[in-house]
Amino acid sequence: MSDACEREQRSENCASPKSASGTSTSMTLASTALESQTTTTTTAHNTAVGQQQPMASGSATVPASAAGRPQQQQQQLRLNDSDMRELCEIKQLLWGDSVREDVFTRWSQGFEFSDVEPSALVQKQGGPCAVIAPVQAYLLKRIIMDRPGIQLIDVSVLELLYCERVCHLNFHLSLPFLVQLPREECESLLIRALCNILKNCRAHRYKIVTLQRRAATKERRLTPPSVISTTNTSSITTNPAAAAATSDDATVEAAIEAEEEAAAATATGIDASATNAAATDDDGTTLVTRLQLNLMLTPDEFHDRLHTVHFDHITDVARFYMQNYSQLSHTYGVLLFMYSVFLTKGTEQVNADISDTSEPLIHSTYGYGAQSLINLMLTGRAVAHVWDNEQDVGGLKLRGICEQSDIGFITLMEQMRYCTVGSFFKNPRFPVWVMASDTHLTVLFSNEKRLVSPETPSETGRRVFKSYDPEGNNFISSTLLRDVLATLHLVSEPGYVSLMQKRLDPENLGIILLNAFMDEFYPLERRSTPDTFELMHYNGIPGSNDNNKVRYYCGSAILLEGDLKSICTSNPMVTCLQTKWPNIEINWHDAHMPSLN
């Protein structure tokens, strides 16, 4: 596990600047670290879905030489046409022939952190968990990598829990895990998580989708702008362009103009989500007014305003997001990042992964994401299944997960026999799993690295045996013994197999029990997984959390002896956990049972 962390840190060192210490913010240090590297050529491409736009010039475009400029401009134009075509195809893949406005509205949100858990993302409505949960999982992976010694719960909290149970004292605990992380560091972790997901696409160029500036006359305000006045000018940037605003309408218009000017200064083509205005009173006091412009676009308006920016290196993507963080936090941050992943992967490759594109990846009625969308965010491949490698179903080769993933996946649907999750997903490189119910995605994680340590020979034997026991009966037909032995690279000669069949099935019942198999071939079984460990759970929907505040919940897990498991149909959380650890029991701290929905 430690080797995997070290390799990951070396491969992403340039795109993963260290956290700040003292009074310096991690975002500043991250920017400094990235700026210190050799500046690479970045080409900006502006693409509008629905109509072709002329190429926009800006500081992001750096020609290689004056003599080669005409050839480069032709290449940019050709790439621009390609992006426009692919964005149209992505729209069709995601939404189908038409985009339902209510579903689109539920997906229209930025990456926003919880007030009480700085590193926990908030999901405002049902639907975008197909993007938000994987992003949260990769964010937690970054924390586990960068803070290997972090504790889920400290001794003082355990003492309080002991008093609550033994002395019947009543405590309402807010776990201290990660609450010390400053907001700036969490934003930096988010950017690194997004870059990690983009790197998984294994593309030679990163194509980031942005939103073009345009006059706000076609936009519909969901709520009136809220005007907040303050005399603290140290943390809010003033904008004199809107200083003359006196009435509500004039203030809104001035703020829109200021938004346009601020965006034009950066030449990135991104809508700002908040604009500041300043006015000076007679006594010289500076009045700072921040206007929260909650503006909403129709689906057609949104897609007409899509533009792209291309980068050759992931470090440039990280720098772009750090300099334009509103790209992630404004109303369409989640959608724009999802489009960026699809465009970076390429529609041709996505179509090849999906195979069947007859159904949209976002459900037209309920708005939830398909398994192909979830797999693309987790692994960089948009395959539709969660088993290992390929399976032959009725003569069709159906592709699943082809290698061990950084982030795992377990689902309640497996217990219901709707699917089979393979070992690559159940045993990821890092102790972080996305958990799926029938309606929602959440995240399970731990700092216990032994949960994902390499398999021991006995664990490999157990896993292979169970792969021939899809019903979970803990026995196989005796005729399958030769296949099991061959898969495990054990002796599989016919004479030896016949002898073992008689030894393992002395009553000639035609079955071989798992325990008998393990006792024969792995008599000194040792488990790499610890018997007890801490687990944490995240659910991004406020209504599924205590007091409607998104935070992490901690539980103490224990693995019981034997292979028998209890079926807890009334406890979906335990039922889902048992698809990974069949004999697990868990006690959640603070008397709160986390929800999968």
Q: Are 376 and 110 in contact (CB under 8 A)?
A: no
| Backbone angle region of 360, left / alpha / beta, with phi > 0 → left and psi within -120 to 50 → alpha | beta
If you ran DSSP here, which 8-state letter would residue 332 be given? T
| Token representation of residue 208 | 């980031």
Among 129, 195, 554, 576, which one carries the catalytic annotation? 129
Amino acid (one-letter) located at 323: Q
If you ran DSSP here, which 8-state letter would residue 39 be given? P
Q: Are 387 and 447 in contact (CB under 8 A)?
A: no
- Picking from 524, 547, 537, 478, the residue whose alpha carbon sits closest to that of residue 133 is 537
Task: Note if 201 is an active site residue.
Answer: no
Among 440, 537, 554, 576, which one carries the catalytic annotation? 440
Instruction: Tell me the sheet residues that pair with 306.
Output: 211
Q: How many other β-carbons are positioned within 10 Å of the β-carbon of residue 219?
A: 17
Q: Are strands 432-436 and 408-411 parallel, antiparallel or unpaired?
A: parallel
Q: Cβ neighbours of residue 365 under 8 Å, at least 6 residues apart? A: 100, 103
**Rg for the chain (alpha carbons), in Å?**
27
Q: Are strands 306-311 and 43-45 parallel, antiparallel or unpaired?
A: antiparallel
d(CA 392, CA 374): 22
- Picking from 461, 457, 525, the residue whose alpha carbon sits closest to that of residue 487 is 461
| Token representation of residue 246 | 């006196």
> What Å distances lie between residue 144 and 122, 149, 151, 174, 447, CA to CA?
20, 8, 10, 20, 6
> What Å distances lie between residue 95 and 169, 250, 339, 347, 365, CA to CA?
53, 38, 12, 14, 10
Task: Note if 129 is an active site residue.
Answer: yes
Q: Catalytic amino acids?
A: 129, 440
